[in-house]
Structure 1
Amino acid sequence: MSAAKTKQNISLNQLPPGKNIPGTAIVVDAFKYRNPDFLYFLSHFHQDHYGGITKNWSDGPIYCSQITARLLRHVLDVPEQYIKSLPQNEPVDLNAECRVTLMDANHCPGAHVLIFDVKTDESVKRYVHCGDMRYEARMKCWPSWFRDGALVDVETVFLDTTYCNPRYKFPKQDVVTAADDTPPLAQAQRRTLFVVATYTIGKEKVLHEISTACGDLCIYTSPDKKEILNLLDLPYANIFVREPRESSVHMITWGKLGEMVPGGWRFLPNWGFAQEYLDWANSLLSDDVPKFTHLAGIVPTGWTWEFQKQHGTGSLFHCTMKPGQEHLCIYEVPYSEHSNFEELREFVEFLKPARVVPTVVGKSGNAGKLAGYFRDLVDSRKSFQLGFNDLFAGEWTFNFS
């Protein structure tokens, strides 16, 4: 991160919306904004959230999950003294005024929803920062939502609004991985090379499902990526191997197979890379081993769903072939690690906060429109009281128990 992109001595009121937990010096995923008085939290290890952290970080401790702490050390070489790992599902007192609890966000390994309980002059207010999250109904059963059998009031939800639009209704993850029209992986163990696009971390569950569907087939990944996978506490870490000749399913860096075209969310394949990769994989095989005749790329992302719906495809998996070279194809798979629109509404309806603050606004900057999608779900009584209770003072006892 260059110095030009990092802002020094920023005050809390200069931060973008969704970065600061009200009434505290806590900032979440705001490492481009430096102030030695800030208390920094990292929700998960994706570049658009940790941007601003380098090996020269010295602006105070970074609070994060245990997996994310390992990645900060291994990938970014952040000094140990600035990394503060926190347990999952265990409340931690940051100071006399604030407690935090981490809940699995069902996003990438180490990603967590951050629940802050903040002492004010007359009460304890709860703020829920989602970072990036794929909501599932099981999250309603998390014990820390409740106290004495009742749901704890939530002041504000800082919501992952990546797919905050009614048109984004892509399937649940288990529906995608269990689909009957899954690409014929098990029927093409050696003659078709499957290449799966993934981030530095994320989408590991897709690889696990592929391995299981193919009879516990191992998955090739680069040595550098294998070192990262070993840090993630994956119960299926043994499926990943460093030798490309051991598997017909390879994991590659996101963006190599192509890119999404902004506007229509259409995927633009990189056929040149696909052919080069197929040739490289075949060059490693000895003469007595059958060569790969086809390459099938797999691109798992929720963005492809809108394109598939618009074009009326009957399959969950939209397949594009290179004209004149049908041995190359790309499967666009609507597997997302962000919540779809209906899941966002279900989550907000469950918590019934006083307000919703979108954390992903986009170029339009229209946070008000995004928040408006949840206006019928927030607690209107609490919304009215926001900013009103502060006019009054009272004696009370702060008790987290």
Structure 2
Amino acid sequence: MSSHIENTAWKQAELDHARPGTKLDAARLAQKGEHGGRRLAPFYKVMPGMPIAVDAFRYGKIPGVKAYFLTHAHSDHYTALNEKWANGPIYCSETTGNLIRLMLGVNSKWIHPVPMDVPTLVPETEVTVTLVEANHCPGSVLFLFEGRRTVNAGDSTFKSPHVGSPRVFRYLHCGDFRASPQHALHAAIKGKKLDIIYLDTTYLNPKYCFPPQRQVIDACATLATRLVLGTEPTNSSESDLTGKISMKPKPSIDVWARPIVKGQHNDDASLREGRTLVMVGTYSIGKERIVKAIANALSSKVYCDKRKAAILRCQDDPELHALLTNDPYEAQIHLVPLGALNRDKIGDYLSQFKGAYTRVVGFRPTGWTYSPPAGTDTLPALAPLITRMQSRTFLPSSLVPTRNSTPRLMLYGVPYSEHSSFLELSCFALSTHWDKIIATVNVGTESGRGKMNRWFEKWESEIKRRREKGENGMVGFRSIEYW
């Protein structure tokens, strides 16, 4: 796609991101009226030369599209998908299929689960798709499409000159993902030339170099164990790279609560006196890894409401299923919406249990919690940035209570995201072989896209520099789970 044609396509796509009441929004509404009330799908929602759309349900029946793909069951990706859907088959992971059937009432006849890690021919096309675990929420996947360009589908005016040619194209659609070395080393991706990567650019800004998931998960589990059970890690680094933590008892006058005694009765107030309730904020889908780590560290069951439990049981995770209970007194860990983790709401929640729990430790995990260190360079050179970030370690001591916390209600903001950090996006881009990257998040303005394109150019320059020095292939990593 030439730069002129691409700029035109982006201008068209900007209409989809128009704010209500603006001139762009008026233009979008006028365009919608011209097309029978249907929004036009931005060009990056339909794979070039293929009758395939990804996360494009809000656009109804898109011209020429025979297969609709869903990366994961978060609302910003399945917008407008509901029980009335009848525009074509939906391809996704088995877990995502279970979730949209439960949450949205989508008829099973439209849902077509695709096996993981195996090239699968998409019906009515000449395209194969391979699903790769996205390391985002349960059921989330990357799609690797491989095939010839056979049709100019979608609403874009761009017409591919390669339609009808024998050339095979490869597109990697990342949806939302937390990039790791495992992605670059996956058999479907390693050593393959990717014509286009559709990249989750939620945090494509160097101020978002938050710590690796595994280190944050371990820190939460360790801190919860200290506060509830009064134990300390035995190794000096507090947590090793594999995420295994060895614990030993440590007497402490600051222990907030006694361990749950197996077999104790819920109505025995004297035994429950002093128990600490651990509350973890979650999305409807997501953050489960932190929950499991804390539950295993405390040897506790997990309680949540019936709807949340039904969603969790849609996931292919027997370990998580075994932790669930419908008795809030049996579980020392309760799951609540992220928005419920503030001082007022925590106090109201605690009062429901009439003294069964006397204190709360709350964990609120979200990437937006992260604040960059003072003096962070907004235009860093990539090689020094990678070296600097890989020298840092996130420890339990890195978790600090929020300002309005009290000994009775202690809340921790946790810099945990299931989107890629800037460091991970950079390492992923430097570790894969690609021709073009198209951003899929924060693309509503030309200036925003321009900033991201400058990073794409920096990645290309760094790849060239590395090749000249004989540094082809993977960026060195600390663990198979993170760079």
TM superposition score category, shorter chain reference: 0.7 to 0.9
| Structure-to-structure mapping, 1:190-229, within 5 angstroms | 191-214=275-298, 216-229=299-312
Q: Indicate the SS of the match to 2:431.
A: helix
Summarize the Cα distance change of 1:293–1:380 in structure 2 as closer, same or farther, 3 Å threshold: closer
Residue 106 of structure 2 is aligned with which of 78, 81, 89? 78
5+ residue gaps, structure 1: 258-269, 284-289, 382-401
Name the residue aligned to 1:374.
456
Summarize the Cα distance change of 1:87–1:328 in structure 2 as closer, same or farther, 3 Å threshold: same
Name the residue aligned to 1:235.
318
Shift in Å, 1:7: 6.0
Once residues 32 and 414 of structure 2 are traced to their aligned partners in structure 1, the CA distance between those partners, rounded to angstroms, is 38
Name the residue aligned to 2:441.
360
Name the residue aligned to 1:105.
134
Name the residue aligned to 1:186.
229
Write the letter of the residue equivalent to 1:271. Answer: R
Summarize the Cα distance change of 1:193–1:85 in structure 2 as closer, same or farther, 3 Å threshold: same
Shift in Å, 1:210: 0.1
Once residues 78 and 52 of structure 2 are traced to their aligned partners in structure 1, the CA distance between those partners, rounded to angstroms, is 15
Name the residue aligned to 2:422.
341
Q: Indicate the SS of the match to 1:101.
A: strand
Name the residue aligned to 2:362.
297
CA contact (8 A) 1:130 1:158 kept: yes
Q: Does 1:279 align with 2:351?
A: yes
Write the letter of the residue equivalent to 1:56. Answer: K
Name the residue aligned to 1:20.
46
Q: Identity of counterpart residues, as a percentage?
A: 34
* Coordinate RMSD, CA, aligned: 3.0
Kindly provide the CA deviation profile for residues 237-260 of structure 1, in whole angstroms up to 9, marking residues without a partner as x: 201111101012100123222xxx
Q: Indicate the SS of the match to 1:250.
A: strand
Shift in Å, 1:15: 2.4
CA contact (8 A) 1:113 1:130 kept: yes
Write the letter of the residue equivalent to 1:33. Answer: Y
Write the letter of the residue equivalent to 2:348. Answer: E
Write the letter of the residue equivalent to 1:73. Answer: R
Shift in Å, 1:140: 2.5
Q: Does 1:255 align with 2:339?
A: yes
Once residues 31 and 96 of structure 1 are traced to their aligned partners in structure 2, the CA distance between those partners, rounded to angstroms, is 19
Shift in Å, 1:192: 1.9
Shift in Å, 1:27: 1.3
Residue 58 of structure 1 is aligned with which of 86, 103, 112? 86
CA contact (8 A) 1:158 1:359 kept: yes
Whichever structure has more helix as a proportion of its residues is 2
CA contact (8 A) 1:316 1:333 kept: no
Residue 350 of structure 1 is aligned with which of 431, 435, 438? 431
Shift in Å, 1:201: 1.1
| Structure-to-structure mapping, 1:103-142, within 5 angstroms | 103-120=132-149, 121-142=165-186
From the CA coordinates, give the structure whose radius of gyration is larger.
2
Once residues 345 and 216 of structure 2 are traced to their aligned partners in structure 1, the CA distance between those partners, rounded to angstroms, is 26
Residue 195 of structure 2 is aligned with which of 147, 155, 158? 155
Once residues 38 and 58 of structure 2 are traced to their aligned partners in structure 1, the CA distance between those partners, rounded to angstroms, is 13
Whichever structure has more strand as a proportion of its residues is 1
Q: Indicate the larger mover: 217-226 or 103-112.
A: 217-226
Summarize the Cα distance change of 1:157–1:10 in structure 2 as closer, same or farther, 3 Å threshold: farther
TM-score, with length taken from structure 2: 0.67
CA contact (8 A) 1:295 1:327 kept: yes
Q: Indicate the larger mover: 312-321 or 66-75.
A: 312-321
Write the letter of the residue equivalent to 1:91. Answer: P
Shift in Å, 1:231: 1.3
